[in-house]
Amino acid sequence: MSLRNLSINLATVRQQYNLAQAVDACLAQGITSIAPWRDQIHETGLAEAAEIIRSNQMRVTGLCRGGMFPASDRGGLAAAVEDNKRAIDEAAAIGADCLVMVVGGLPKGSRDISAAREMVVDGLAAILPHARAIRMPIAIEPLHPMYAADRACINTLEHALDVCELLGDGVGVAIDAYHVWWDPKLREQIVRAGASNRILAHHICDWLVPTRDLLLDRGMMGDGVIDLRSIRRTIVEAGYDGPQEVEIFSSENWWKRPGEEVLATCIERFHEVCELHEKSFQER
């Protein structure tokens, strides 16, 4: 079966491989799409990373990550803006489909989440002219509310799309099932995102019950409670048929297993519980 619509976010195997090793390991199993993180690119060197990706004809479904805008003073916000402009340039250099935004939470010592959200909008507005100039789409990724304080104060797809509409062209959303599966408005907001051509990426993993760590205990697809196929069906019906990007943070499980096993399991579960077949449409 085809792996055209399977991408591996390299966080999934970050403890097993560096960038070059991850590319080789993916290709060995027929995977031709990846999403690296900026620290992995920096470790390799931008020019070398771009060459590894180009020479192996890898699709880059996204670069993780930009964002982290809220700051305790104007200088901090200005520094975040400059760093995000560098991230845009890095995403362009490796041919990424988009730059994924984890927008940031409360500045240290703050309890003002409204102000943090305003800083996010200000930061995005400041970098968008540069992103538009080099045609690098910006993908806002709403994160689960448990991350509102420290990682992302945009927590629903509805809020992310409101920000997109405020900012205009060049910005869309990354829909990560782990972060949005619980939302009672999810289906209608996916339809809304599709109608405005805002869907730039689709990330997958699973929500374990119980979850032992809020950051580092994501599940392999099929091991948890998310109806991944239903979410995918809605996304495809909304007009997005790009890759499903496996992004698993798993310090006590998948990061401790051999990389080849992790990738093989990603392929197996993709076919079993994520990939759409004709029957999955008939089930509705």
Q: Domain span at residue 84?
A: 6-282
- Asked if residue 49 has pLDDT above 50, the reply is yes
Does 69 map to a domain? yes
Confidence at residue 61, expressed as pLDDT on a 0 to 100 scale: 98
- Asked if residue 60 has pLDDT above 70, the reply is yes
- Asked if residue 280 has pLDDT above 60, the reply is no
pLDDT digits 0-9 by tens, 91-143: 999 999 999 999 999 999 999 999 999 999 999 999 999 999 999 999 999 99
Confidence at residue 282, expressed as pLDDT on a 0 to 100 scale: 46
Does 1 map to a domain? no
Does 112 map to a domain? yes
Does 26 map to a domain? yes
More confident of the two residues 1 and 211:
211
CATH number of domain containing 253: 3.20.20.150
pTM (two decimals): 0.96
Mean of the per-residue pLDDT values for the chain? Answer: 96
Rounded mean pLDDT, 48-53: 98
Confidence at residue 150, expressed as pLDDT on a 0 to 100 scale: 97
Rounded mean pLDDT, 158-167: 98
Q: What confidence category does residue 2 fall into, taking pLDDT thresholds of 50, 70 and 90?
A: confident
Domain count, the chain: 1
Does 146 map to a domain? yes
Q: What confidence category does residue 240 fall into, taking pLDDT thresholds of 50, 70 and 90?
A: very high
Does 177 map to a domain? yes
Rounded mean pLDDT, 171-197: 98
Rounded mean pLDDT, 240-247: 98
The dihedral through the CA atoms of 150, 19, 246, 160 has a sign that is positive
- Asked if residue 217 has pLDDT above 90, the reply is yes
Confidence at residue 284, expressed as pLDDT on a 0 to 100 scale: 46
Q: What confidence category does residue 277 fall into, taking pLDDT thresholds of 50, 70 and 90?
A: confident
Q: What confidence category does residue 279 fall into, taking pLDDT thresholds of 50, 70 and 90?
A: low
